[in-house]
Chains A and B, each alone.
Chain A
Amino acid sequence: MYRCDHGKNEREELISIGNDIIALNKTNSDRTKQQKFYSKILGNQEIDLFKNINSNILSFENFVWLAWSVKESVYKFNKRNNDEVLFSPTKIIIQKVDVPFQPQALKFNAQFERISFDKKTCFCCEVLFGSAVFYTRTLVFDDVIFSVANNTNCFENICWGIKAIHDDSYKTQSSEVRKFALKKLNKYYLDEALSIKKTLGGYPILVQQNNLPISFSHHGKYVAYSFINYGK
């Protein structure tokens, strides 16, 4: 399992979390490959990064959506604490992509929950946003891509989960992701009636744990959560 390595970019921990999920069957594969589409997400130096990745490990379409989910999760990490932040994908720059040690097509089966990420199976990115560096972990399944962002290169205490749901209406996505996260949170905080509320900016928090930040994402028939587990 990957050990924490804060390295040169060690900073005071900013309490935040951001994730993003992409249901690949909800994307337009032909359009994704068109320059007019991907050039609104990727800069030239990021396209160069792809040239060093074996296309058997990651197709170009999946690279585009990996980049999108990485950038969106970094944006969400920052937006939670600064309402002025704007989302402009080409201004969030992926500087480095480490491919999994043991790349293989990951099969998604209904539900997946873990603490931390295994470098054998995940893509690790270093991302520049403004003058700050962020780090992400991404899992590429056969039908879904999921990323989590942090401002240190440590993901040891990050709990996350992905789940397939029965329909893709907004109401179902919203209620299912809350139920899914609360079920996991209740395993850590046993004796409390937990409730998830939203901040004024619209970001989920766990009220009973000093407004612990929780990140939700949904796309199509998939929902995902992530939060930091502080030593429980």
Chain B
Amino acid sequence: MSRQEILDGLKTVLGPYTMDKQALNSMNDETEFIKDLKINSANLIDIIIDAEERYNIEIDADSAEKIHNAGNCIDVIMEKMKEKS
């Protein structure tokens, strides 16, 4: 799965939680979940679980703490998918 495909899938994951749909549509690697997408921190666990289910992976605490923007979220997803394959 390419980076772009994961970015597009991530938009679906983040959709229910973002308060800025315009920022979500133009999301790139640098887009920060809380600052740019106005996602409430209380939804961060929901996002991790939804991403785990979508990509059939498990995201541990060490990996989850690295996630604050789309780019490092995609990095973690790709790393976990690679570990599984």
On whether the beta carbons of B61 and A27 are closer than 8 Å, the reply is no
On whether the beta carbons of A31 and B66 are closer than 8 Å, the reply is no
Chain A interface size, under 10 / 10 to 19 / 20 to 34 / 35 or more = 20 to 34
Q: State in angstroms the CA–CA spacing of A218 and B38 once bound together.
A: 11
Q: Which residues of chain B are within 8 angstroms of A169 by Cβ–Cβ distance?
A: 19
Which residue of chain B has its CB nearest to the CB of A218?
B40
Q: Choose the segment among A35-43, A104-112, A133-141 that binds chain B (4+ C-beta atoms closer than 8 Å).
A: A35-43
On whether the beta carbons of A40 and B64 are closer than 8 Å, the reply is yes
* A126 interfacial contact with B, CB 8 Å: no
Provide the B41-85 mask, 1 if CB < 8 A to any CB of A, else 0: 110111011000000000001101110000000000000000000
On whether the beta carbons of A40 and B65 are closer than 8 Å, the reply is no
Which residue of chain A has its CB nearest to the CB of B35?
A202
On whether the beta carbons of B42 and A22 are closer than 8 Å, the reply is yes
Q: State in angstroms the CA–CA spacing of A88 and B59 once bound together.
A: 12
Q: State in angstroms the CA–CA spacing of A20 and B19 once bound together.
A: 19
On whether the beta carbons of A86 and B66 are closer than 8 Å, the reply is yes
Which residue of chain B has its CB nearest to the CB of A21?
B42
On whether the beta carbons of B19 and A219 are closer than 8 Å, the reply is no
Provide the A15-42 mask, 1 if CB < 8 A to any CB of B, else 0: 0000010100011100100001100110
How many whole Å from B5's CB to the nearest CB in chain A? 25
Q: State in angstroms the CA–CA spacing of A170 and B19 once bound together.
A: 7
Q: State in angstroms the CA–CA spacing of A72 and B42 once bound together.
A: 9
* B20 interfacial contact with A, CB 8 Å: yes
Selected from A31, A72, A89, the residue in CB contact (under 8 A) with B46 is A31
On whether the beta carbons of B40 and A219 are closer than 8 Å, the reply is yes
Q: Which residues of chain B are within 8 angstroms of A90 by Cβ–Cβ distance?
A: 61
Q: Which residues of chain A are within 8 angstroms of B49 by Cβ–Cβ distance?
A: 31, 36-37, 40
Q: State in angstroms the CA–CA spacing of A227 and B61 once bound together.
A: 31
Which residue of chain B has its CB nearest to the CB of A26?
B42
* Chain B residues within 8 Å of A, Cβ to Cβ: 19-20, 35, 38, 40-42, 44-46, 48-49, 61-62, 64-66
| Leading 6 A-B pairs by shortest Cβ distance | A88-B65, A86-B65, A170-B38, A170-B19, A90-B61, A40-B45
